[in-house]
Amino acid sequence: MITSAVNHYYRSSIGRKHLVALTGLLLCGFLVGHLSGNFLLLMGPDAFNLYGHRLFSLGAALYVIEGGLGLVFLVHLGLALRLTFENYRARGNQKYAAKKNTGRGTTFMSWSMPWTGLVLLVFTILHLINLKFGPYYTTSVEGIEMRDLYRVTMEYFQDPLHVAWYVFAMICAALHTAHGVASAFQSLGLNHGRYYPKIKAFSYIYAVLVGGGFAFISVWAHFQGV
């Protein structure tokens, strides 16, 4: 029955859930780092541009980190998509005529996971195109020539449509992580009556702080002007 326990693990429902959970938590960790960096925007152009410059000067190491992050993102996306399609199939062809949720289980957040996830996928692609691979301005801080990422960011957020889309995406991120963080702990087997309510609370706090933090900066940038 068991050809190889470990081999079986990566193909099983629970094994893949573990991987989705683990990659999800890693991405949540990345968001915290990204947001901390964004807060440097508030400190002015030089602080933000220096931060960007220091990151770029990591050289090859940065590519390794970015590659790892991309891989984590793709594993999370690919496995979650597959699990979603399997779940859709598992429901069968005949749907309920009058299915109602009890109100004690499924929430809008848990129901919308695939949709908020897709919004975040589209958002990430556009975000990379518009900002990371966006206009290349240069500036000089303390005599060092570097990319003026502050200007790229501030210019991007002058368009109210960009801000609206960004805030919408961050609401999706908050909804996604509010369910996702606690669910990841559950998937990894970390659910106990004693601490699970705290994990759930942490999940909501994380979602509000991170989603709200990013959204705040986009709105601030809009009103700050270039």
Partner 1 sequence: MASGNMSLNLKIWRQKSGEDQGKLVDYQVQNVSPDMSFLEMIDVLNEQLVRKGEDTIAFDHDCREGICGMCSMMIDGKAHGGFKNTTTCQVHMRHYKDGDTIVIEPFRARAFPVIKDLTVDRTAIDKVMMAGGYITASTGNAQDGNAVLIPKPIADEAMDAAACIACGACVASCPNSSGMLFMGAKISQLALLPQGKPESPKRALNMVQTHDNLGFGNCSTHAECEATCPKGISIEHIARMNREYLKAAFTYYDKKRSE
101 binds partner 1 (CB under 8 A): yes
Say whether 146 sits in a helix, a strand or coil.
strand
- Which range binds partner 1 by CB under 8 A, 86-94, 117-125, 140-148, 204-212? 86-94
Eight-class DSSP state of 39: G
What letter represents residue 2's amino acid? I
153 binds partner 1 (CB under 8 A): no
Nearer to partner 1, 179 or 222 (CB): 179
- Closest distance to partner 1 from the beta carbon of 105 (Å): 3
Q: How far is CA 140 from the centre of its chain?
A: 32
Q: Which of residues 164-223 bind partner 1 (CB under 8 A)?
A: 179, 182-183, 186-193, 196
Long-range contacts of 158-166 (CB under 8 A, 24+ apart): 158/222, 158/225, 158/226, 160/222, 162/130, 162/218, 163/218, 163/219, 163/221, 163/222, 165/123, 165/126, 166/214, 166/215, 166/218
Long-range contacts of 3-6 (CB under 8 A, 24+ apart): none
What backbone phi and psi angles, to 5 degrees, belong to 182?
-65, -40
Q: How far is residue 43's CA from residue 33's CA, in Å, rounded to a whole number?
A: 16
99 binds partner 1 (CB under 8 A): yes
136 binds partner 1 (CB under 8 A): no
111 binds partner 1 (CB under 8 A): yes
- Closest distance to partner 1 from the beta carbon of 188 (Å): 7
Selected binder of partner 1 within 33, 59, 60, 91 (CB under 8 A) = 91
Cα angle: 124, vertex 188, 107; to 5 degrees: 65
Nearer to partner 1, 12 or 140 (CB): 12
Nearer to partner 1, 103 or 225 (CB): 103
Binding site for partner 1 (CB under 8 A): 1-3, 5-6, 8-9, 12-18, 83, 86-87, 89-107, 110-111, 113, 179, 182-183, 186-193, 196
